Structure 1
């Protein structure tokens, strides 16, 4: 029996032109040649401005160094032990975790509430734009606004309103109260950003799903729980990661609100960002860049742990719609 052998895919045609596979292979080779020229500039910048400083910070965290003119002295884990034994660091760590957890819960509860309301609200896109406005204002400007709003005397707007209601003035910016005050300011200022992200995800959901649910008599909460939340779950996870990263490095709001007119806020109001700043540029004594680097390493570790845990907790199968 005669057999017919299939011509190889790379065989040239009668005219000497390459076949389809040969053309595709040449195209892939050309794409590979273009890969590194396009990637190299971004990769170089990433290594120079992110990877290298992170490595240097990790190395300096095991030293005692006062900056230019001083020679770093290797101390091993002594800097970390000294940092964890410090009351100011422990206070900064607790305050920062409160911003991440309590502030995150408040922000996303408010964002979910507005997500339920704005979807069917006339002029919802305009309201969305207004809610986003605080995110385009510099954090220092927001902090100055809140410092005027929460002044402890009757010149502050909040206490002026409370006085009109017959309530004694509240010391919003006292060290023992400033953390809760900053959490409230954070929730107000940040909610618009996450509302915008979540509403962009809601806009992708087919309207007929809500129409069917409405015909079935579903309430707004039932539609949110059965339709909105499952179909935007992946976006909620990304928003949670963004919040965690931003909350762990909070600095300006606390620095201005808790210590206006002074060099640094009271240690009871510190965050990890303020701890790093104080150890790097503290006016009291010699700067301790080793201690600042150790705290920066702890911040990087906390960010990594929170992000990994958050991604694992929110991992679900993607719903196709």
Structure 2
């Protein structure tokens, strides 16, 4: 039986028409996304950078160019130094603690029966609003003679003096612990999703070779999830640099800025914009926001370079 084939010219014409239709659909889908990106991200970012070189107190005032004066004032400000150092501490100490806990649970949950249920339970704190978490920990950690919070009540019940957990000199470490507790479930979920894609025979071979759990983690789990660990590190850096609610609720009364020793860059920007120090200083707030952008950009680039490795095929 003879087979009739479509002429090559007909196939070429059909492919060309299909490509033409795709091109016509490109801009209707592309332009709205670009427009929203420009209006709500690019323009505010550029405006923030420009206003960082001005003195401006908001509506009714004309921005006045001051050059690098705002940045010089930031460097000389105790409040900004506390804010910057506390933010870096949350990123580094909180990140190390979160990932150590996440790795520990990853090693345990991989071989644990019912691990998926436990993983879901560990994720629950991540879906609670940070303000609610702050109020919860505030009730537990409050120092109030004769009406102590749960933590101090337990300490006093075993003969240990109550601790002022929420004092300005202690609040940074308390917030760090709260962040680790609340965030670990999210990163456990991410890392466990990466572990689930590792072929089981690699662990079976390790068992036959007599590898310890640590050796299996070091030589199998970590290398094969390294790319996911890098992405998780970037996510942590971006989220940690924006810490605001926990500090504001735990360290302050919730109606005005807490003591400067507990500030983060987010609290500093808020205080200069809406704080109780008098007229708003939007120029200073924008300068601090620019520092936040630069800090997260530098840290993300460094992290990506440090985490860069050749992809392992399996």
Q: Quick one: distance in 2 between partners of 1:248 and 1:207? A: 37
TM-score by length of 2: 0.95
Q: Is the CA contact (8 Å cut-off) linking 2:257 and 2:276 kept in structure 1?
A: no
Is 2:283 aligned against 1:290? yes
Cα distance in structure 2, aligned partners of 1:73 and 1:296? 18
Q: Provide the C-alpha distance between the structure 1 equivalents of 2:245 and 2:52, rounded to a whole number of angstroms.
A: 24
The structure-2 alpha-carbon separation of the partners of 1:230 and 1:14, relative to structure 1 and needing over 3 Å to count, comes to closer
RMSD, matched Cα: 1.5
CA distance in 2, matches of 1:309, 1:288: 32
Q: How many residues align?
A: 309
Counterpart selection for 1:57 from 27, 30, 48: 48
CA distance in structure 2 between the partners assigned to 1:71 and 1:260 by the alignment: 33
Worse-superposed segment, 42-51 or 29-38: 29-38
Matches within 5 A, 1:14-53: 18-53=9-44
Q: Deviations over 1:236-258 (max 9, x none)?
A: 00000000000001000000000
SS in 1 for 2:168: coil
Specify every segment of 5 or more residues in structure 1 that has no aligned partner in the other structure, as ranges: 1-12
Q: TM-score, normalised by structure 1?
A: 0.93
**Consecutive aligned runs of 4 or more in structure 1 exceeding 6 Å deviation:** 13-17
Q: Offset of 1:299 from its aligned partner?
A: 0.2
Structure 2 partner of 1:224 = 217
Moved more, 198-207 or 39-48: 39-48
- Give the aligned partner of residue 151 of structure 2: 158
Secondary structure of the equivalent of 1:177? helix
Aligned to 2:116: 125
| CA pair 67-30 structure 1, distance change in 2 beyond 3 A | same
Following the alignment from structure 1 to structure 2, what is the Cα–Cα distance between the partners of residues 23 and 210? 51
Deviation at 1:120, TM superposition (A): 0.5
- Cα 1:173/1:129, change in 2 over 3 Å: same
Which residue number in structure 1 is paired with residue 94 of structure 2?
103
Structure 2 Cα separation of the partners of residues 14 and 24 of structure 1: 16
Supply the distance in 2 between the matched residues of 1:220 and 1:162 (Cα, whole angstroms).
35
The Cα shift of 1:22 comes to 4.4
Which structure has the larger Rg? 1
Higher normalized helix content (fraction of residues): 2
Alignment pair present for 1:138 and 2:129: yes
The answer to whether the aligner puts 1:254 opposite 2:247 as a matched pair is: yes
Unaligned runs of 5+ in 2: none
Q: Deviations over 1:190-247 (max 9, x none)?
A: 0000000000010001111111111111111111111110110000000000000000
Q: Deviations over 1:32-60 (max 9, x none)?
A: 22222112111111111111100111110
Match of 2:264 in 1: 271
Aligned counterparts of 1:33 and 1:216: Cα–Cα separation in 2: 59
